[in-house]
Structure 1
């Protein structure tokens, strides 16, 4: 019987391959329209898109395809794929990030990754309706030059994010492809400041994005997607994030060289939350069971003690280095309140109680 981890790995491999194929198809479409040089300009500078004739493709289509093609070219230098464990994603979705410093995003643990969801969560879409969040493409950008770059580039002062969603019909099934070739996907583009003086929350990002799109206020879909992306990015910037690198091949596999090893193999992905996510889910389930049993038994004779419960975790920014000038993010794990009131065997192990 195939284990759940193997099934999740296969799902990540399938989605990652579709995402990269779609980005490559955008590049091929631009080449077919005689606009194949635009992704190079988007990386190295050189042309204003509004000055390009659009006889075949609209300006909106050209911009989106240029974004996809340029980010794919930069991604292909390292080919980093972060496989997001669904249990870890569920936990991150429940944690608040608060206001964060932009400089934190210059400390992304994995350069230019594509974060792929093994079990894509359902989210509200920016333009209405719902869809599955398949992947988040993360790239760097230099605002002054208006060009894409690696997230490790010293010029990088903002993150360029592309959230790729699969819209769903009312019955929950994927929408059919319009042209039978490219999938019917929706792309949410987001810019996240990465300057040392920047401070913002998810709501700030949503309002900036709404103004960019000519809206008076953010839509519910914009708020949700931006909140989810920020929760994900804050964790990926943590120096203590549960990110496991693939095991280096040995013997004959090592001799074949990196070029022969497929990037889309589940054995080459960076696993995010595959250890911590299931542990947190199990602890949460035990906490809910313990709370129900305590409520049935009553609150105790004294009447003033809080009933045993698990206080939710959250993400916070901490400052390190000389003069505490280097931002880092840390995940404050859930911990127990009035744990001593629990019956023997009810308190889950492995929950960290933060030091006061």
Structure 2
């Protein structure tokens, strides 16, 4: 297959155009890689929750080296993640301002166990039409465009996120790597695992486990330092967990949007329509409007004698509240950015609450 790089994304970028691009750029290339080593059946076995290992029970898989075997495992896992999503086709289309608020939020709070098990839909795909800037481990500029979420059991076999035996969520990030002109010059895929803690935890603790367990693709040139790798994985893990925690809130700003069924190609079955959920398209504009008011106040009130408080923005953050008999229950509230004007008055946008049994 001829490489599509470099290319420019057509504007405006939509959820549907990104989904199609993921299939064309990411999945088709992965399928070609697997076909080369006769490993497509291996990938399908992974998606069904199997434990087949390349070169052992699958005698037809061509594995001339241990590095190639490890590369096939990674590619087969990515391919299985895509087909696991195809079974549900749940898409969260995240509003860009909310995306930025979640990426920037303070994550120092201790969270009660079980929060992430409240994911409302199985195996979702987060789509980021705004693209979140990131720095690849090799120093290249990137934009996070998508995040697949799947489950993993304690024995490392794949499962649905709703499976009661799920011990971890696998987060598969897909990013555009871009040059100074904004052209997409490559695509990057990173899959990390987040423990579904049934005890209290912090995002920092979850990230430390990611850094400990991650295995890099062995066939790609690796010029990155340990610090560059750590910073890249830490940024991805923080970004992914923040978005998961938000949609796990029972008052998250989400609503279903109808998507028409695409006409089938000649001789093919009709394609199952995407189930599109708009995330943050009410609260995002409210955050943006409040930010603009505060920034205007900062420009006009600077240096005035009457000013007692500099206009500023408090970061979005998570906070756990105890409630119920004996205060034995806990609920986690996502507090959006709070904007404080020059009089010390707070400009609030609506928060979200997650009820959790501790």
TM-score (norm 1): 0.76
Aligned-partner Cα distance in 2 for 1:322–1:113: 35
Answer yes or no: is 1:291 the counterpart of 2:298: yes
Aligned-partner Cα distance in 1 for 2:37–2:104: 44
Q: How far is the alpha carbon of 1:101 from its aligned partner?
A: 4.7
Q: How far is the alpha carbon of 1:86 from its aligned partner?
A: 0.9
CA contact (8 A) 2:168 2:196 kept: yes
**Structure 2 spans left out of the alignment, 5+ residues:** 1-10, 217-224, 261-268, 353-358
Bigger CA drift: 65-74 or 153-162? Answer: 65-74
Aligned-partner Cα distance in 1 for 2:157–2:80: 9
Aligned-partner Cα distance in 1 for 2:143–2:64: 33
Count of residues paired in the alignment:
318
Which of 77, 99, 121 pairs up with 1:67?
77
Instruction: Tell me the residue number matched to 1:269.
Output: 276
Map 1:1-356; keep pairs closer than 5 Å.
11-21=14-24, 22-23=26-27, 25-27=29-31, 29-31=33-35, 33-42=37-46, 43-49=48-54, 51=56, 53-55=62-64, 58-98=68-108, 99-101=110-112, 103-144=114-155, 146-175=156-185, 184-197=186-199, 199-202=201-204, 204-206=206-208, 208-210=210-212, 212-213=214-215, 218-247=229-258, 260=270, 263=273, 268-300=275-307, 305-318=308-321, 329-337=332-340, 340=343, 351=349
Aligned-partner Cα distance in 2 for 1:143–1:158: 8
- CA 1:25/1:336 → structure 2, altered by over 3 Å: closer, same or farther? closer
CA contact (8 A) 1:140 1:159 kept: yes
Residue 96 of structure 1 aligns to a residue in which SS? coil
Q: How far is the alpha carbon of 1:244 from its aligned partner?
A: 1.0
Aligned-partner Cα distance in 2 for 1:325–1:53: 56
Q: How far is the alpha carbon of 1:64 from its aligned partner?
A: 2.2
CA contact (8 A) 1:102 1:196 kept: yes
CA shift digits 1:133-191 (9 cap, x unpaired): 111111111022x211111111111001111112223554322xxxxxxxx31111210
- CA 1:351/1:273 → structure 2, altered by over 3 Å: closer, same or farther? closer
| Larger strand percent | 2
CA shift digits 1:238-280 (9 cap, x unpaired): 222111112498xxxxxxxxx857635xxx5211111111110
**Structure 1 spans left out of the alignment, 5+ residues:** 1-6, 176-183, 250-258
Aligned-partner Cα distance in 2 for 1:188–1:248: 29
Aligned-partner Cα distance in 2 for 1:326–1:20: 43
- CA 1:331/1:195 → structure 2, altered by over 3 Å: closer, same or farther? closer
CA shift digits 1:303-355 (9 cap, x unpaired): xx43454433322345678877776542213335467578xxxx86x63599x
- CA 1:185/1:19 → structure 2, altered by over 3 Å: closer, same or farther? same
Aligned-partner Cα distance in 2 for 1:137–1:100: 23
CA shift digits 1:19-65 (9 cap, x unpaired): 13433553464345322221233232232346464149922431222
Instruction: Tell me the residue number matched to 2:8.
Output: none
- CA 1:39/1:326 → structure 2, altered by over 3 Å: closer, same or farther? farther
Backbone CA RMSD of aligned residues? 3.4
Q: How far is the alpha carbon of 1:102 from its aligned partner?
A: 5.3
| Larger helix percent | 1
Residue 238 of structure 1 aligns to a residue in which SS? coil
Aligned-partner Cα distance in 2 for 1:286–1:26: 47
Aligned-partner Cα distance in 2 for 1:231–1:138: 13
Bigger CA drift: 154-163 or 30-39? Answer: 30-39
- CA 1:203/1:281 → structure 2, altered by over 3 Å: closer, same or farther? farther
